[in-house]
Structure 1
Amino acid sequence: MKNQQAFAPFVALGLFAVFSGLSAPVASADPREWNENNDPSDMLNQYEARLDQLPTSATLPAQKMPWSDSYWPSKQGGIAARWFQKNASSKYSNFNYYSPNLAELHKMTSEEVALLSPAEKYDIYRGKYNYPLVARERDRTGPDSKSWEGICHGWSAASMLHAEPVPVTVVNADGIAIPFGSSDVKALMSLFYAHASDNEVGNVVQLGARCEKSKVGNLLSRHSDEDCADTNPGTFHLALGNLIGKRQTGFIAELDDSRQVWNHPVMGYQSTLGKRARPSRKAAPSAVSEVEVKTVVSYIIEINPTWEAVLGTPNEKSKTIEYRYTLELDGQGAIVGGEWLSSGHPDFIWTLDRLDFNRADLKEGDIDFSGITGIYKTR
């Protein structure tokens, strides 16, 4: 659901940074219990590690709920797709259309301008009638791209960090009225965060590692191939309990442990704990017991673009996925590891800081995202 090259700063380069602004903990596990891809302190800084002190269920509050939108598939032209125009004649339509010049725009009705792509509208808003953002998108995307390639990493980040935009009509310096639908603005915000990842801008924290195998099978957390073992279930449970459960802060998860990359904002969970038992032979050295857990994770999914905002409406879409795993506990009841019991599990999880659309280090030639501040309006 995203371009593989664009995601390199999150995956291939393995950026790690401390996630700032988090509350003080009650207890933390010994970092020596975790491998380099799964140390919870990288993401959580100080955190509550005791299982019985973590909420067994939680959902993000309404004011922090991520919003659904398109992942802007590359094979459809990314955000240069004229999504509001329903009669595209072929898969090449978004790659060879003609964009209107200023004289033609003055003759167009508001309804006609509304049919243009998010990239075209943004170029018009900035008075760039040579359409540099459209050109950039056409260079970045292509009709023969894989169906899952797009900017879901940008969408997931934007939806997690910003309130949902509403439709707005703005007038540029040449007097052109430009109607932006909610998804037009979302597209620009999503591309902004994807562009930030390309340029390694922002504090990104990742736990787990991407699996490059086409078929993972029943790999568990201590398999010799550490990348394809994915996020350790102990780390994953600590992220759920501390971020969503205690701090009401979401995170993003790559839920498909295969070659494809599908990022989604995680917004809730419900865990059922079984009885404690003696630790298994492969358990962490400090483990004195382990408990079997079933957790149902709720996450926001992608939809087709919409003109109106979707939060609180039937157009907002989410799904659930069930994971089964064991958690290993030390003598204080702190989580120090775990093993996956279910065959499917998250490849990696990540967080990042909210970015300012006016950042100078994200300007690149004629590409300048600072104009988003003039069109981004919320309820």
Structure 2
Amino acid sequence: MTQRRLLCVALAVVLHLGTGVNGSPLESNPRMDIGPVVVLSHNHPAFGAGLEDAAGDADAKITATNFAAISGDDNSELPGSVSAGEAAPTSSARRLELHGTTDLTRLELFFNTPMERDLTKLPTKAAIKPIPWPASYWPVYQDSLNFKWQQGENVLSPAEKYAKAFGHDTKMFVDKVSAKNGIDSQKHRTACATDADCVPLKDSSVCAKREGQPKGYCIPTWFGICHAWAPAAILEDEPKCPVTKNGVTFQPFDIKGLISLTYDGAKLPTVFTGSRFNGPDNEPNNTDEFGRFRDASRRDLGPGFFHIAMTNMLGLLNHTFVVDVTAGSQVWNQPVRSYEVLQMAWHTPETAGRKFYDQDTYPFNEDAKWLLQVKTRFMWIVEAGEDGPLVSTNRVDAHTQFADYEYLLETDENYKIIGGEWLFGSNQNHPDFLWFPAAPPANSSTTEVGLEYKEVRELLRASVTGNC
């Protein structure tokens, strides 16, 4: 059954019911005070660690004058600036869980087309090809790319391999990697000798020590460069074959790590939507009478915006994106693989109010004429410690996870999405924010630790075109 037929059949069930609701001004979810395109840095809201750990890293907004220099595309044009939205409403009786014009406008400026909001025109399933490749997020507690993942004697870490193959001072390079992305970047944290020293922190920390050191620092295990791996997995080909450079052999897993770390420091232009929640996760009385988080930054992404973005980008534009799949304070950036709408059912505001909220009418948006109850299976790529090509061998399926999100979509009389509410377990379990790379790094990019994009691309091209 086509998506239009499915929607029309569902509509026919309730078309005879009345919808008399008076309209009211629309209010929007919180959103970050950033430009339409923003540089990926350690102050970027998608940064894969606590933002307090990004001291000294400038948060750069991209303007029309410097976008071409950053992206390496002399013909690129950046759309006009977007003004920041109004302050988030303080009342718990939120009118509309839609990100409003700011986040929608960011998408429309980038794609140079309006986002389709008519539910009868939105695809009910889509999948991206090629599939983003799984890889490690190179945890900080393992000292990032200084981690020796291969077994055996005299093995080298990806960082050591890169330094040796391209003539860089090995000790200086690995020290820079540790200071920027690894254990030494966390010297401000609690000193430790064993994991037991970190237990009182109650933040998933372990005692992370640099190789050969008796002491280290308590570092949460989720800290890493997922914010760099995810866009790299979307934009770059997956490494396939081992590559030898100046007597040093790089495995595909090494090359994935190097390209990911390059993305961390290459001033990648990105489009970001939503609002990062920074905790606390377990604050008392943190939900309202309907089971929704009181903190609006934890309640977002709103399902109205989420559904519009997902169906337009994946379904209509064949363009994937990254989400933080956890609504809590930890950040897990995952590249998106697919979605499929599994169930839909239409309700009037009155039937929705009684069914879901024990109210005489839908309590959140009096402009809503119809409520579409939706269950969507949303799939993303997760981290992997496995070497070799994983997409072409279908091993990617073992590194794909999904969640079934349930939500209400608010629509006007023409079935145009104007907002939404999470339902049931999705109140607590839903994406926190959504973003994507606006362009690959410039070929001339050199990161703060000394990684050169053109050198890493040389390894990647040889790996992709190799015969193995």
Please classify the TM superposition score into its range, dividing by the shorter chain length. Answer: 0.7 to 0.9
For the pair 1:349 / 2:430, whether they are aligned, the reply is no
Contact 1:14 1:206 in 2 (8 A): no
Query: Once the 2 structures are TM-superposed, how far is the Cα of residue 6 of structure 1 from its aligned partner?
Result: 9.1
Query: Once the 2 structures are TM-superposed, how far is the Cα of residue 85 of structure 1 from its aligned partner?
Result: 2.6
Match of 2:404 in 1: 322
For the pair 1:277 / 2:347, whether they are aligned, the reply is yes
Distance 1:14 1:349 in 2: 19
Pairing partner for 2:103 from 30, 39, 48: 39
Match of 1:141 in 2: 182
Pairing partner for 2:309 from 239, 254, 279: 239
Contact 2:342 2:375 in 1 (8 A): yes
Match of 1:80 in 2: 146
- The one-character-per-residue Cα deviations of 1:298-321 (angstroms, maximum 9, x if unpaired) are 110111141x21113353210111
Match of 2:161 in 1: 121
Distance 1:258 1:269 in 2: 22
For the pair 1:71 / 2:137, whether they are aligned, the reply is yes
Query: Once the 2 structures are TM-superposed, how far is the Cα of residue 66 of structure 1 from its aligned partner?
Result: 0.3
CA RMSD of superposed structures (Å):
3.3
Query: Once the 2 structures are TM-superposed, how far is the Cα of residue 39 of structure 1 from its aligned partner?
Result: 3.1
Distance 1:282 1:155 in 2: 41
Match of 1:90 in 2: none
Contact 1:70 1:303 in 2 (8 A): yes
Query: Once the 2 structures are TM-superposed, how far is the Cα of residue 163 of structure 1 from its aligned partner?
Result: 1.5
Match of 1:169 in 2: 243
For the pair 1:248 / 2:318, whether they are aligned, the reply is yes
Gaps of 5+ in 2: 1-46, 76-84, 87-95, 184-207, 209-217, 350-360
CA shift in 2, pair 1:365/1:117, >3 Å: closer
SS of the residue 2:161 aligns to:
helix
- The one-character-per-residue Cα deviations of 1:50-105 (angstroms, maximum 9, x if unpaired) are 111111111112xx210111111111111111111357xxxxxxxxxxxxxxxxxx
Match of 1:103 in 2: none
- The one-character-per-residue Cα deviations of 1:144-166 (angstroms, maximum 9, x if unpaired) are 32111111111111101112112
Distance 2:177 2:374 in 1: 44
For the pair 1:294 / 2:375, whether they are aligned, the reply is yes
CA shift in 2, pair 1:73/1:223, >3 Å: closer
Distance 2:260 2:422 in 1: 32
CA shift in 2, pair 1:153/1:74, >3 Å: same
Letter in 2 for 1:371: E
Mapping for residues 1-379 of structure 1, pairs under 5 Å: 2-5=48-51, 34-35=98-99, 39-45=103-109, 46-61=114-129, 64-85=130-151, 115-139=155-179, 140-142=181-183, 143=208, 144-171=218-245, 176-196=246-266, 201-215=268-282, 224-279=294-349, 280-306=361-387, 308-313=388-393, 315-316=395-396, 317-341=399-423, 342-343=426-427, 344-356=429-441, 358-360=443-445, 362-364=446-448, 366-377=450-461, 378=464
Query: Once the 2 structures are TM-superposed, how far is the Cα of residue 250 of structure 1 from its aligned partner?
Result: 0.9
Contact 2:345 2:374 in 1 (8 A): no
Distance 1:221 1:209 in 2: 20
Letter in 2 for 1:183: F
Distance 1:116 1:292 in 2: 53
CA shift in 2, pair 1:205/1:304, >3 Å: same
CA shift in 2, pair 1:244/1:7, >3 Å: farther
CA shift in 2, pair 1:239/1:221, >3 Å: farther
Contact 2:99 2:305 in 1 (8 A): no
Distance 1:207 1:233 in 2: 11
SS of the residue 1:213 aligns to:
coil
Contact 2:103 2:273 in 1 (8 A): no
CA shift in 2, pair 1:228/1:14, >3 Å: farther
Query: Once the 2 structures are TM-superposed, how far is the Cα of residue 224 of structure 1 from its aligned partner?
Result: 4.8
- The one-character-per-residue Cα deviations of 1:88-145 (angstroms, maximum 9, x if unpaired) are xxxxxxxxxxxxxxxxxxxxxxxx6xx3111111112220134433111222322132
Letter in 2 for 1:83: W
Query: Once the 2 structures are TM-superposed, how far is the Cα of residue 273 of structure 1 from its aligned partner?
Result: 4.0
Letter in 1 for 2:382: I
Q: Does 123-132 or 263-272 show the bigger shift?
A: 123-132
Distance 1:37 1:260 in 2: 27
Distance 1:211 1:154 in 2: 19
CA shift in 2, pair 1:146/1:222, >3 Å: closer
Contact 1:58 1:270 in 2 (8 A): yes
Query: Once the 2 structures are TM-superposed, how far is the Cα of residue 328 of structure 1 from its aligned partner?
Result: 0.5
Distance 2:103 2:52 in 1: 25
Query: Once the 2 structures are TM-superposed, how far is the Cα of residue 272 of structure 1 from its aligned partner?
Result: 3.0
Q: Does 142-151 or 35-44 show the bigger shift?
A: 35-44
Q: Does 281-290 or 239-248 show the bigger shift?
A: 281-290
Letter in 2 for 1:54: L
CA shift in 2, pair 1:232/1:86, >3 Å: farther
Distance 2:53 2:337 in 1: 22
Over the matched positions of the two proteins, sequence identity in percent amounts to: 28
Query: Once the 2 structures are TM-superposed, how far is the Cα of residue 285 of structure 1 from its aligned partner?
Result: 4.8
Match of 1:101 in 2: none
CA shift in 2, pair 1:365/1:246, >3 Å: closer
Query: Once the 2 structures are TM-superposed, how far is the Cα of residue 218 of structure 1 from its aligned partner?
Result: 5.2
Gaps of 5+ in 1: 22-30, 88-111
